[in-house]
Amino acid sequence: MARTSATLELMTGRVLGRQGRFAVCPLILALGLDAQHSLSVQSNLVSVPVTVTDRNGKPIIGLDREHFAVTDESEPREILAFSRQEGAVSMGFIVDMSGSMQDKQRYAASAVRAITAAAGPGDEAFLLTFGDQPEMRVPTTRAIDSLADPLISGKAHGKTALIDAVYRGIHEVRSASHRRKALVVISDGGDNHSRFSEAELQRGAIEGDVQIYAISLEENARSPEEKRGTFLLRDLAALTGGAHFTIRDRSHLPGVAAELARAMREVYVLSFKPPAGSAGKWRQVRVSVNTPSSKTLRVAARSGYYAPE
């Protein structure tokens, strides 16, 4: 796979309130970088999954607690628990089947297969497609080998209800059985047929504790509407601590998906105690790595949390 074929935009989202207002600070990286960062609160500890990769997107393994540092609202926090994230994952695949995807279905199917091929024991997933509206093609199942089949047999048609599809995907995966939850969104266009607004989707994403990984396919000159679709997915990835890939050749979809799947499996989890008196407040978090090669490493983690009540 040619590394010039795609761009991964790894972003840190800064939420400014519960109403979904946020700013995004993007870091544009060469293909293959990273993924998998969520944030959850367990008891009185905050746990932040973190992915560390080199410049070529290869996950860095073998790091220990002392290699990491965490600041909470710019104040250092002691890392009270440290581990490699293991265990099963609940995944949702949200795939564009609008009319513009007619000649790209088999590549999207191959991308889904590349991710499910890397699935671990006990992983579960569902397939949700969308054109004029979201449609559940395969409900949550652990038999995920044939999950992509409807993408080959189905007919791409209609407009693009991208926002409605991601909104439903967040709702579906939140009720899944595993603690680790992720959505993968594959689309080539912008929303033009949704009932929900971007603000409503952003609020749902903030509260969902679900990592969103998105692949935007951009092969031709893009209309303002189509560009808004790319920006929407980029911002959702930032907001949830995920990753956004931009692909400019449909044949590279499977390779990019494989890189995404690999990075999802190499995750560290750092846990710390939030300060007293912060209950219910949004607090910014920053994770850094201190090693001899730290200047060449990329660290990806969600940028904040709501302190537990």
Domains of the chain: 36-85+267-306 (2.60.40), 89-264 (3.40.50.410)
Show the tokens assigned to 128: 């949700």
Nearest to 121 by CA among 143, 100, 139, 102: 143
The DSSP letter of residue 54 is: -
Cβ–Cβ < 8 Å for 141, 90: no
Alpha-carbon dihedral angle through residues 66, 70, 74, 76, given to the nearest 10 degrees: -50
pLDDT surpassing 80 at residue 13: no
Q: b or e along 93-103 (b: 16 or more beta carbons within 10 Å of the residue's beta carbon)?
A: bbbbbbebbee
Over residues 26-52, mean pLDDT: 55
Over residues 189-213, mean pLDDT: 89
Summarised one tens digit per residue, pLDDT across range 148-189 is 999 998 899 999 999 999 999 999 999 899 888 899 999 998
Q: Could you tell me which residue, 306 or 82, shows the higher pLDDT?
A: 82
Q: Could you tell me which residue, 23 or 217, shows the higher pLDDT?
A: 217
So what's the pLDDT on residue 180? 83
Show the tokens assigned to 44: 């009185």
DSSP string, 158-214: S---HHHHHHHHHHHHHTSSSSEEEEEEEESS---S-SS-HHHHHHHHHHH--EEEE
Summarised one tens digit per residue, pLDDT across range 84-129 is 877 788 999 999 999 999 999 999 999 999 999 999 889 999 999 9
Give me the percent of the chain exceeding a pLDDT of 90: 48
Q: Could you tell me which residue, 219 or 172, shows the higher pLDDT?
A: 172
Show the tokens assigned to 223: 């209309």
pLDDT confidence of 7, banded at 50, 70, 90? low
From first CA to last CA, the distance across the chain in angstroms is 47
pTM: 0.79
Give me the percent of the chain exceeding a pLDDT of 70: 84
So what's the pLDDT on residue 24? 33
